[in-house]
Amino acid sequence: MSHAAVAQPRVLADVIPQGRLRDVALVVGGALLTAACAQISIPVPGDPVPITAQTFAVMLCGAGLGAVRGGSAMSLYWVLGLIGLPFYADGESGAQVAFGATGGYLIGFIVAGYVVGRLAERKLDRDPWKALPLFTIGQLIIFGIGVPWLAIDLGVGAREAISLGFTPFILGGIVKAVAAAGLLPAAWWLVGKR
């Protein structure tokens, strides 16, 4: 009698038995987690971009759900905020936010969710020393899209856009990357599927 090899989960969500309902629930859950983390918001005086926990949620969703589901969760988050649900930072919503000064960060969430998910599918989220660069890349993708968008929206130069949209968030980005780099490998250890 031959035993078929048990497929190793590609990402943490794959530990849950497969099915379309599972995937829909995970995507909706990722969007809701991001919306909840958006409400953890600290205003930066004179800056249109608040400090939030959203990017932490993006990293967790991308790595935990994989590329397609992670990118889909961030897309759903963006769409639900666009159509009027109070999902963006401080309960804001609508086109003025989705396409405004912080719109590039929101679009960056979609790209980062996909890229982090794709890299997590290659098992880069299972060891803290591999996960830290993974989550740093995810943060940089968000800033790489968000800061130029901010510059265009505000009509400011690169130096001012970096001062407004990147510099105040460096420490928080590092903290969130370190936290995610500890949390995901720990989750893998708990499910015993490393």
CA distances from 178 to 47, 105, 127, 135, 167 (A): 25, 20, 12, 8, 18
* Domain assignment of residue 147, yes or no: yes
Per-residue pLDDT at 4: 45
* Domain assignment of residue 12, yes or no: no
Q: What is the CATH number for 24?
A: 1.10.1760.20
Please state the domain count of the chain.
Answer: 1
Condensed to tens digits (0 to 9), the pLDDT of residues 132-160 reads 999 999 999 999 999 999 999 999 999 99
Condensed to tens digits (0 to 9), the pLDDT of residues 2-40 reads 444 446 778 999 998 888 999 999 999 999 999 999 999
Which residue, 99, 136, 102, 95, is CA-closest to 119? 136
* Domain assignment of residue 9, yes or no: no
* Domain assignment of residue 102, yes or no: yes
* Domain assignment of residue 193, yes or no: no
Q: How confident is the model at residue 47 (pLDDT cuts 50, 70, 90)?
A: confident
DSSP state of 19: -
**Strands, E assignment, 12-79:** 41-42, 51-52
3-class SS shares of the chain: helix, strand, coil, % to 5: 70, 0, 30
* Domain assignment of residue 194, yes or no: no
Mean confidence (pLDDT) of the chain: 93
* Domain assignment of residue 190, yes or no: no
Condensed to tens digits (0 to 9), the pLDDT of residues 73-116 reads 999 999 999 999 999 999 999 999 999 999 999 999 999 999 99
Which single residue is written with the structure tokens 């969130």?
176
Q: What is the rounded distance in angstroms from the CA atom of residue 106 to the CA atom of residue 29? A: 17
* Domain assignment of residue 189, yes or no: no
Q: For residue 120, give its domain range.
A: 17-39+49-183
Q: How confident is the model at residue 162 (pLDDT cuts 50, 70, 90)?
A: very high
